[in-house]
Amino acid sequence: MTRGRLRPRVVFAFVLALCWAIQSMAGEWMPLARDGIHDPKSRAVKILQQPQEALSRLTPDNAGNQVRWVQALDKTEIRPREKLFAKTEVRKLDRDIILDVKGGMPAVRFPHRQHTEWLDCVNCHDGVFKMQTGATKITMFNILQGEQCGICHGAVAFPLTECMRCHSIAKGDKQPVIPPDVNMQMHRSRGPAP
């Protein structure tokens, strides 16, 4: 009988521990010696800058490696060197591509500016994407397989769980219209009506 009483408690303690672990991960980075990439016995581990020290100063994010990189660059919190060789031409483009999707999911806005701040055109053109809107068939399936946008997103750029960061355009570019007879006080997502 004790087993029967113990189990829910064990489960509860486990869930609590898990919540705590996830909570305490926010705003914290794994030390190099424990990141599973660096050799903990190497002397370099004591010399190299720890991620916590470098990254905690940048605009925070709640996903990926916890830095909102586009904002960190825009606010010049970081100033990466644009090129190694003086003769390299730096190409940038400020053009948004809107990709509408079938069904209820909001359309995708692909911003060239934010990408060409980091990447040269050849990273995408004409290999991954053709230089013509709609010419490449892009699907969520391919992306989740690590192709197309998924070559980088979920690997080196923000993860695919952040759906709305890509699907950021409401259908037909219109805000959802609330009919006049709907009482918004009664339609709040959480908590009792006042």
Binding site for ligand HEC (CB under 6 A): 69-70, 91-93, 97, 99, 101, 103, 105, 108, 110-112, 114-116, 118-119, 121, 123-125, 128-136, 138-141, 143, 148-149, 151-153, 157-158, 160-163, 165-167
CA pair distance 121, 115, nearest whole angstrom: 9
Q: Where are the alpha helices (H) located in the chain, listed in sequence order?
A: 2-25, 44-47, 51-55, 69-74, 112-116, 140-144, 163-166
Which lies closer to ligand HEC via its Cβ, residue 32 or residue 153? 153
Which lies closer to ligand HEC via its Cβ, residue 45 or residue 167? 167
The per-residue DSSP string of 80-119 comes to --S-SSTTPPP-----EEEE--SSSSPBEEEEHHHHHTT-
Q: Are 109 and 168 in contact (CB under 8 A)?
A: yes
Q: How far is the CB of 17 from ligand HEC (least distance, A)?
A: 27
Which lies closer to ligand HEC via its Cβ, residue 30 or residue 152? 152
Q: How far is the CB of 98 from ligand HEC (least distance, A)?
A: 9
Q: How far is the CB of 85 from ligand HEC (least distance, A)?
A: 18
CA pair distance 54, 78, nearest whole angstrom: 10
Q: How far is the CB of 60 from ligand HEC (least distance, A)?
A: 13
Q: How far is the CB of 91 from ligand HEC (least distance, A)?
A: 4
Which lies closer to ligand HEC via its Cβ, residue 32 or residue 68? 68
CA pair distance 126, 188, nearest whole angstrom: 47
Residue type, 173: D
